[in-house]
């Protein structure tokens, strides 16, 4: 594959394709599931009918005019790149951001890569004695994220394509209310869009994790739960009542010294998670909840939100 030509035809920097080639190396890819089995798999992965219809319409059939040689190469090598880092804990960019308006094949290329890796990561789960229930509820974050992207009118990516590599490599597990990401010495907590963050549901999820990781990864030693989020910004205490779920979640953590995160704007992330929109003007954002009003009033006052990290012992 001539990467200069491929980059021009894909509309991406050639450096991005060089990175894919380097990280994928000679590692094997993985086949997509048979197309006839795909609808049932998409349903199992929580994919809504409207998103599933697009995925099926863009399916990389042999000879499909939607799939150029460059797209097929990128899909194959992106799968190999992620598979080569099976069990890796860090965020991983599977490939360049594509011009998704060109069609379903372009829009869902990294979804097809995720589908190809389902059998790979489920085999990894079985090797570690992880139940099917945990596997499927974890992997079904695909459907949740596709629904979020649809609500955001396509603004959810490319963050989501990197986020979903955690699931596809066996790094992240959804255990009740929280998602738990393996690390070096700590388990990183993530909060999916799945209802209230009640103290009872958080405690139950933490208790599950305390049993889950020693059982399934006995060679790994974790001493703390950690979290990096705008939810840990102490400025929220100016706006939310003491008994708010976010406040009670925040109080579990000892905050670390503030360090500005590279490549991450907390104001943008707040809008992404609270409003599911990055482009709506501030004066048109909803103000139905205390949190929504706090976010808008804070930003309209010319203030900023901050991404903070915290931890507490396991």
Q: Which of 129, 28, 42 is nearest to 86 (CA)?
A: 28
Reported as a single tens digit per residue, the pLDDT across 124-178 is 999 999 999 999 999 999 999 999 999 998 888 778 999 999 999 999 999 999 9
Fold topology of 175-314:
Aminopeptidase (3.40.630)
Q: Supply the pLDDT for residue 227.
A: 97
Question: Hey, where are the domains in the chain?
Answer: 1-170, 175-314
Residue ranges of the chain with per-residue pLDDT less than 70: none
Tokens of 247: 């406040």
Give the number of other Cβ atoms within 10 Å of residue 136's Cβ.
16
Q: Which one, of 85, 142, 148, lies nearest residue 114 by Cα?
A: 142
pTM (two decimals): 0.95
How many CA atoms are closer than 13 Å to the CA of 209, on its beta-carbon side?
A: 30
The answer to whether 44 and 138 have CB atoms below 8 angstroms apart is: no
């Amino acid at each position: 594959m001539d990467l200069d030509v491929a980059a021009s035809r894909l509309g991406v920097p050639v450096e991005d394709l060089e990175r894919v080639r380097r990280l994928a190396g000679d590692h094997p890819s993985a086949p997509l599931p048979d197309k006839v089995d795909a609808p049932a798999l998409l349903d199992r992965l929580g994919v809504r009918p409207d998103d599933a219809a697009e995925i099926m319409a863009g399916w990389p059939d042999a000879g499909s005019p939607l799939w150029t040689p460059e797209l097929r190469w990128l899909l194959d090598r992106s799968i190999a790149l992620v598979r080569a880092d099976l069990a890796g804990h860090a965020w991983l960019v599977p490939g360049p951001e594509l011009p998704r308006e060109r069609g379903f094949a372009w829009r869902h290329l990294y979804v097809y890569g995720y589908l190809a890796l389902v059998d790979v990561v489920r085999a990894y789960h079985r090797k570690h004695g992880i139940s099917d229930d945990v596997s499927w509820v974890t992997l079904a974050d695909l459907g949740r994220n596709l629904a979020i992207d649809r609500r955001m009118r396509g603004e959810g990516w490319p963050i989501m394509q990197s986020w979903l590599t955690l699931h596809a490599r066996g790094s992240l597990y959804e255990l009740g209310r929280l998602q738990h990401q393996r690390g070096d010495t700590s388990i990183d907590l993530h909060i999916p869009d799945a209802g209230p963050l009640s103290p009872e549901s958080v405690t139950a999820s933490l208790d599950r994790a305390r049993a889950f990781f020693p059982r399934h990864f006995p060679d790994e030693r974790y001493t703390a739960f950690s979290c990096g989020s705008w939810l840990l910004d102490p400025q929220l205490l100016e706006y939310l009542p003491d008994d708010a779920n976010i406040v009670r979640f925040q109080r579990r953590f000892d905050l670390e010294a503030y360090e500005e995160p590279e490549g991450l704007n907390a104001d943008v992330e707040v809008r992404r998670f609270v409003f599911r929109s990055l482009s709506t003007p501030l004066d048109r954002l909803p103000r139905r909840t205390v949190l929504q009003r706090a976010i808008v009033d804070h930003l309209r006052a010319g203030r900023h939100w901050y991404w903070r990290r915290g931890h507490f012992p396991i």
